[in-house]
A and B are shown apart, each in its own frame.
Chain A
Amino acid sequence: MPCVVEMNNISKVFPGIIANDKVNFQLKKGEIHVLLGENGAGKTTLMNILYGLYQPTSGEIYIGGKEVIIKDPNVAIQHGIGMVHQHFMLIKPFTVAENIILGNEPVMHNGMKLDMKKAIKNVENISNDFGLKVDPMAKIQDLSVGIQQRVEILKALYRGADILILDEPTAVLTPQEIEELGIIIRKLADEGKSIILITHKLKEVMSMSDRVTVIRRGKIIDTIDTKAIKTDDLAEMMVGRKVKMEVDKQEKTPGEVIFSVEKLKVRDNRGLEAVKDVSFNVRAGEVLAVAGVDGNGQTELVEAITGLRDIESGQVQLDGLDLSKLSTKEIIESGVGHIPEDRHRRGLVLGNSLAENMILGYHYTEPFSKNGFMKYDKIHEHAQVLIKEYDVRTPDENVKAGSLSGGNQQKAIIAREMYKNPRLLIAAQPTRGLDVGAIEFVHKKIIESRDNNQAVLLVSLELDEVMSLADRIAVIYDGRIVDTIDAKKATEKQLGILMAGGKHKETRDMNSEVMGHE
């Protein structure tokens, strides 16, 4: 089979770092090729070079057998390369058709007027050709994330892409949407398109690809047929050492309920009800996972519990103490540890040093503060101990928190929160954007916390994570807990349906009357 893309000896050097080191990469016609690697391994850099966003420091690129210099994305598009970015580049108030034709608009009256009819026709044609159903007249803001991604793919196809690069396409999708995406790209490949998937998720590699190229620290480790390799071996190639994919979790009988939420109502920033009558409880030595698609009230729920957002009504109790009227400071003092979902915005003061960050939340307590003065020797000592204990990779504790990699930032936050020995640990998207090694670490620590008889509230979008860590799973949809199920009995399919707002069979019958009135 001929190669449509050949990248030979590509190197890319950034200040202080070699992102790609003599990389060779071949893409065959009609294949789905996964580029697998951890965050920061250099896979996105390589693809940005192919798409003309970066210039390689050295090396050649051949497309269809001819050497090309891709000096910007326009050249890439001319050569039939299309890229779907992780964060969609769509104009939300515009329609699907308007977005797709943008930059390449059909016109009439000698270019004086946009030919909208033709545009819609074009979009319909192309979506029929590839079986990607969308309504050309729908506005982007009204579409689900899965459909928006479809629009992005159509946009690339409309520009005549034969080679499609998808950057972490599944990060924002539900399990069902991921499945649909798999079908779509397989169909595209059958039509003769060649597809590159950038990902760090092993499951997708196995289910979606023909071949996989593993990249680690800027170097290509190997390119293999997907059929010929097992998940565990792939993980080892990606990380560079043996990794445990399964979380070690012992059976444990949870203790009494120490944390409970009763009929909680919370409004979002626009004043709409984001959390509607949510009730649940967590027992000592138990992980309760709140699973759901992003934007179903999880953020508001956690903010309300931790005092970062006003509670409209309802109760939050920890060890019999009502938290609903307390300030964040008082809530921290009552024994709540919180790994926030956005470590850049909430979890760390990026401009402060690592040492200063490792006391945030108890910075005013002894021995770190005395009579209103900071005790920096104690603070540095504290940071050094935690850095060692939690294996935070950093030159020292004086560097700015913002200069650390995501995994190490998260380790620092976890170290800080665990140091408090909290009664309740809230972990919100604790592994978002982390690589396999770091995920393993975070999971281990969460289970450790559970085994220490702490109550753990895990909020996650990752089904695998939820299923392997949780003892019980509460599925949230549209601000309500749709159902709470035993994690041992839960299946991915069942959770997927619940996450999409579908009711669990038994509960559906029970609630059908109530639902009918709404």
Chain B
Amino acid sequence: MNDGNKLKKITKDLWLILRFPLISIAAGFFIGAVLILIAGKNPLIAYIALFQGSFGGVDKIGETLFKMTPILMTGLSFSIAFRTGLFNIGGEGQFLAGAITAIIAGWYFQSLPHLLLVIIMFILAILAGAAWASIAGVLKAKMGIHEVITTIMLNYTALYLVNYIVRAVMNPQILLGTKAEAHTVSLPDAARLTKLKDVFEIFGRSSVHTGIFIAVGCAVFMYILLFRTTLGYELRSGGLSPDAAEYGGVKKSRNIIMAMGISGAVAGLAGAVNVMGITYYVAQSSTTPGYGFDGIAVGLVGGLHPIGIIASSFLFGILSNGARKMQLEGIPKEVIAIIQGVIIVFIASQYIIKIIYKKRKENEIKKEKIIPEKSKEEEVR
């Protein structure tokens, strides 16, 4: 194959991968525009505002990157498990486990220097997320209990456990003797991630922090893990065809435990990054933070591929960041939620689009009557 053909093939492959997400995104924006029209506003103004809000300057882009950071990581977390044939919707719980562990580690190791402290916090948060997810992994591997059920239950368990820790263990009242708060003690400066605006003035008032590099690093890690390592080969094979993997000597139970562990580790790290990058404490809450659930959408829209997930998390970042600017133009920010919803619905119903494509292709070929060499294919039957 010469270079020209190779390039052509790559472009074609890329298009095959990208067409459904692109169609879905277009559909999302189109339906959003219709709704804005119905609300009596100009969709053009709305969308200009949206993109100005998320692209109009380095500070705006910085804010978009900030919004993207946690969902990129939870998107990766979800996708690793999904590629192995597991539906880990426990990202919420694993995120919380990582977040509260970071607080605990940040408090007890606060005398350590910045770099060492941060690394220790990361490692402990990774272990906490992995351990939390492994409960579901082991239950599935050893007893066949479905991971959807256990991870949902573990989300609530994590939420209330964290609330307990916030009130009774890591509360400023207990640790510092000040008055009781509805949140934990704050992380010391040494435990916080650097804001990019503190290094580069150009980032203005945006909140983007070094966590974005960690998130992108996770995407690289996932790519290498899945497509370059033997473990990744086994995980992918097990996800695509559990019986064939088993035939090839891959242990189902080991695959499940490994995949859940790695998935939980990334979600746990996401929790730590979020706490160390922006919130600095964990607050008592009646609901889970939502990043884990967003990760499901980000992962699916991104085609479960690390590069796709970077793109989809960036898109979701654009939408949530631009929403404020749109609101200033008098357009309800709920439109953004609708656009997101439509995109997800379309991605989920890829199947329908695929059928339309197939039909059209069939018609085209009818007209052209191409006779290719290879004739014996499943389609004939």
In chain A, positions 295-324 with a C-beta closer than 8 Å to chain B are: 306, 308
Interface string of B363-376 (1 = CB under 8 A from A): 00110011110111
Binding stretch for chain A, among B207-215, B230-238, B294-302 = B230-238
Map CB proximity to B onto A25-46 as digits: 1 under 8 Å, 0 otherwise: 0000000000000111110110
Q: Indicate with 1 or 0, residue by residue over B232-252, a CB within 8 angstroms of chain A CB atoms.
A: 111011001101111111110
CB of A76 closer than 8 Å to a CB of B: no
Chain A min CB distance to B27 (Å):
25
Q: A40-B380, A329-B251, A360-B237 are in contact. Are A17 and B243 (CB under 8 A)?
A: no
Q: Are B381 and A44 in contact (CB under 8 A)?
A: yes
Q: Chain A residues near B240: list those with CB within 8 A.
A: 349-352
Closest chain B residue to A400 by CB distance?
Answer: B240
Whether A351 contacts B378 by the Cβ 8 Å rule is no
Asked if B244 and A348 make an inter-chain contact with CB atoms under 8 angstroms apart, the answer reads: yes
State which of A45, A347, A363 has its C-beta within 8 Å of the C-beta of B247: A347
* Docked pose: A38 CA to B376 CA in angstroms: 9
Chain B interface residue bracket vs A: 35 or more
B244 to A15, Cβ gap below 8 A?
no
Q: Please judge, given known A-B contacts A328-B247, A345-B241, A372-B229, whether A13 and B381 are in contact too, CB under 8 Å.
A: no
Interface positions of A from 355 to 398, Cβ below 8 Å from B: 356, 360-361, 363-364, 369, 372-374, 376, 393, 395
Chain A window 147-168, contacts with chain B (Cβ cutoff 8 Å), 1 for yes, 0 for no:
0000000000000000000000
Question: Could you tell me if A373 and B228 are in contact, using CB atoms closer than 8 angstroms?
Answer: yes
Q: Inside 8 A of A42's CB, which chain B residues have their CB?
A: 380
Interface secondary structure of A, over-half rule:
loop
Contact B374 A393 (CB under 8 A): yes
CB of A373 within 8 A of CB of B229, answer yes
Give chain B nearest CB distance to A22 CB in angstroms. 12
Indicate whether B377 reaches chain A with its CB closer than 8 angstroms.
yes
Q: Smallest CB–CB gap between B242 and chain A, Å?
A: 9
A482 in the interface (beta carbon within 8 A): no
Measured between C-beta atoms, what is the minimum distance from A13 to chain B in Å? 5
List 16 additional contacts besides A16-B370, A372-B229; criterion CB under 8 Å.
Answer: A13-B369, A15-B365, A38-B376, A45-B380, A308-B246, A308-B247, A332-B249, A348-B241, A349-B248, A350-B241, A351-B241, A352-B241, A360-B247, A374-B229, A395-B374, A405-B378
Q: Can you report 19 A-B residue pairs in the complex whose CB atoms are below 8 A from each other?
A: A14-B362, A14-B380, A15-B362, A18-B375, A41-B376, A44-B380, A217-B375, A306-B247, A345-B241, A346-B244, A348-B244, A352-B241, A360-B244, A364-B230, A364-B234, A372-B229, A405-B376, A405-B377, A405-B378
Residues of A within 8 A of B (CB): 13-19, 38-42, 44-45, 57, 217-218, 306, 308, 327-329, 331-332, 338, 340, 342, 345-352, 356, 360-361, 363-364, 369, 372-374, 376, 393, 395, 403, 405, 407
Binding site for A on B (CB under 8 A): 228-234, 236-237, 240-241, 243-251, 358, 361-362, 365-366, 369-372, 374-381
